[in-house]
Structure 1
Amino acid sequence: MPSQGLVLSAESARHLDWPGLAAGGLTLSLARTEAELAELQRLRLRIFSTDMGASFPEAEGDRDVDRFDPWCVHFVVRDMALNRVVGTYRVLTPEAAVSAGRYYSDAEFDLSPLAAYRSQMVEVGRSCIDAGYRHGTAIMLLWSGLAQFMMRGGYRYMVGCASVSLRDGGATVAEVWRKAAALMASRPEVPQVRPLHPYPVEHLDGFPATRLPPLIKGYLKLGCMICGAPAWDPDFHTADFPILLDLAWLDARYRHHFGMG
Structure 2
Amino acid sequence: MDDQGSEKVKPTLVARLGKNHFHGKLPELGIEFSNFLKHCRYSEEAMLRQLRRSLHTDIPSSYMENIIDGVVPAIGVDVLMEKDAYTVKLSDNTRPDATVLCKCIVLENKKLQLYKAGFVLPRVELNQVRQMVIDVSCLDKNLDLRLMLCFRKILTALTEEEMNNVRDLINSAVLDSYMKGGLRWPLGEEASSGGRYSVIWVWHAVTKAYKSSSFRLKARDADRYDFRTATGETTREIYLKLKRIVSEMQASSFIG
When normalised by structure 1's length, the TM-score is: 0.24
TM-score by length of 2: 0.24
Higher relative contact order (CA 8 A, sep 6+): 2
Larger helix percent: 1
Task: Mark the structure with the bigger radius of gyration.
Answer: 2
